[in-house]
Structure formats: C-alpha cells, structure tokens
Amino acid sequence: MADSGDSAPTRTYSYLGPRGTFTEAALAQVPEAAGQNWHSVNNVGEALGDVIAGRSDGAVIAIENSIEGGVSVAQDALATMPGLRIVGEYLVPVNFVLVARRGTRLEDVKVVNAHPVAYAQCHSWMDATLPDHGHIPATSNVAAASALFETELADAAIAPPRIVDLYDVDVLGEAIGDNPNAVTRFLHVSRSTEIPAPTGADKTSLVAELPIDRAGALLELLQQFSTRGVNMSLIESRPIGDELGRYRFIIDADGHISDERVADALLGVRRFSPGVMFLGSYPRADKSPIEFDPKYADQVFVEAREWLGELLAGSSTGTVPAPPLAG
C-alpha cells in the first residue's frame, strides 16, 4: 500500500460497492480518504474484515437510516469483531429512481431488483404505481441496476439517481422514495486507538450487555447515563444469540469520553456490565453542540473529587467549596 520514493504511503479504504453507491458518497466526505485507494467490497463483514486484517486503513459502513432505523448487520458486526474503533460519522441524503433497460415502459415492469433497505424506503410508491410487482433482493443499490444487464429476471431496478452516469438506462420514475428527507448515517471505522480530540459536538458509541435477565436490569443500565445528565441519541437491542432472552444494546451517547459526565457514565456502565465494549468518541456529522445541564459540567465533577480527596487526606469537612447549583 506504499508508494516508492519519498511520497507519503497510499492508504486504502473499503466501502460497499460498486461505484455509485450511497456508501461511496459517504466515503467521499472523509477528508483523509481523498486521493487514496478506494476498495469496493460486497458486504459490511468484508469491509470490516479488511480493516482488521490490515488490508485497509479504514472502512465506511452504513449504520442507521432515518426511516428504517439501525442497520442490524452493521451493529452486530461492530459488536462481535474486536479491534475496531469509530473515528467519524457522515450523513448522506437518500432518494431513489426506478430504472430499466432502454425501451422498457413502466407498464411492462413486473419484477424489480432492489436492495432490501432501498425497497422498504420506496414501498408506498411501488405499491401505488406497480401494485402487482415482484421483488428480487440485490446486494447493493448499484448491483440492483447492474443485474439488469446480467440476467432478464427483473424488468427494472431501484437505484440511486446518479446511476444514469454509470449505466445506459431509462428512468421510469424519479424521487420514488417515500420520504424526501430520508438520510443515512455512515461510520468511518479504523483500527486506530487514538481518539479524536473533543470538539464540543461529539458522540460516544458503545455496546453493553445486560449481566442478567431480570426486572429492572435495563432501567439500571439507562440510569448510568441519566444520573450523569448524558443524553442517549440511540439505543437499540440486538440478540446475543446464545440463548433466548439475552440481549446486547448498541448505544450512542451525546458527548466525548473526555467529558467528565460521559467518562463517569462509562465507569458506571463498566461496573454494571463487565462485557461493555467502547466503540469510539468522534465528532457528530451535524456539528450540533451538545447541550446539557450546567450541574453536570466538568468542573462540578472535578470539585467533587477534590472534596473527597480532602476528606481522605484527613480534613474533617473538606475545604473545597461546593459548586453553585444551577438555577
């Protein structure tokens, strides 16, 4: 992966391909990937496997959609493939077109190629326009279109709008997505253990397992965050798979691990759930500053520790003044 001479080493980034996918559009937003080698793969496991094996320096994967929610295959992969860290996130607006081989009319369409996630996001339009159509799942949005030229099993495909730049197709329907404001969130994942510096607009991701299936266990997990004033922007359960009733939780918390309130919450989760996995702290894609109650500011935690330190050092009351309560 390195060039000869004094030039900087060439980095490789894996993404769900082929060219033209929404994942490629997300990778185009990664500053350090500009001008580097982009490696197209067939699935999330292959992309992350490239990173773990050192074949790629990073991978970009879809993790959440504003319509469909979390991408379970990506969540499960992050939870079960150790040695990975999230170092960034990116948002890509999502909409679709219906395309077909040249000369195909809309009324001729009986079977449609589509990635399952894309198909779900165009369900209303498809049912209203082609109520009797059949569906063949595709491995990616671009693969749905390319399959039209490999077999004649399908008459049309749901694909990204820029598919017209890659294939000679007729567009039979534009903006067919059910929600014009749909957005997919992508993660930049690497092996780096260096945590991006806090920006004030950050997110921390982790995986936590409930230690035992009993009443109130989930509440205890959630309280590790609520009692420190840490908002969770995402919490989704995924079955661990070894037996019924065993779940792990994918959690996105507002803030950075260097924030006192977030660090204290993570310590609480670690005491509660020994199987916790830290996935990373990284800048939010929307760059929205994190808002929190002033009583959970860093200095409040620092002064509380100093007060305790004074007591342990032999002071009868502690000499560190308590911070003022927020009004």
131: three-class secondary structure by DSSP:
coil
Residue 177, pLDDT score: 94
Residue 324, pLDDT score: 58
Q: Which residues neighbour 246 within 8 Å (Cβ) at sequence distance 6 or greater?
A: 209, 210, 213, 239, 240
- Give the separation between CA 256 and CA 262, rounded to whole angstroms: 6
Count of other CB atoms within 10 angstroms of residue 195: 17
- Give the separation between CA 175 and CA 132, rounded to whole angstroms: 20
Q: Which residues neighbour 112 within 8 Å (Cβ) at sequence distance 6 or greater?
A: 98, 119, 126, 130, 133, 134, 135, 136, 154, 155, 156, 157, 158
Residue 206, pLDDT score: 97
Contact between residue 85 and residue 128 where contact means Cβ atoms under 8 Å apart: no
Residue 319, pLDDT score: 59
- Give the separation between CA 309 and CA 327, rounded to whole angstroms: 27
Residue 243, pLDDT score: 76
Contact between residue 90 and residue 229 where contact means Cβ atoms under 8 Å apart: no
**E runs forming strands in 42-176:** 58-65, 69-70, 85-93, 97-101, 111-114, 134-137, 156-159, 169-173
Instruction: Respond yes or no on whether the N-terminal peptide bond of residue 131 is cis (omega within 30° of 0).
Output: no
Q: What are phi and psi for residue 257, nearest 5 degrees?
A: -60, -25
State how far the alpha carbon of 141 is from the alpha carbons of 17, 77, 257, in Å.
9, 21, 36
> What tens-digit pLDDT sequence spans the chain (327 residues)?
444 445 678 999 999 888 888 999 999 999 999 999 999 998 999 999 999 999 999 999 999 988 878 999 999 999 999 999 999 999 999 999 999 999 999 999 999 999 988 998 899 999 999 999 999 999 889 999 999 999 999 999 999 999 999 999 999 999 999 998 999 999 999 999 999 999 999 999 999 998 777 788 889 999 999 999 999 999 999 998 777 778 899 999 999 999 999 999 999 999 988 789 999 999 999 999 999 999 999 999 999 999 999 999 987 666 555 555 554
Angle at 37 between CA 183 and CA 3, to 5 degrees: 155
85: three-class secondary structure by DSSP:
strand
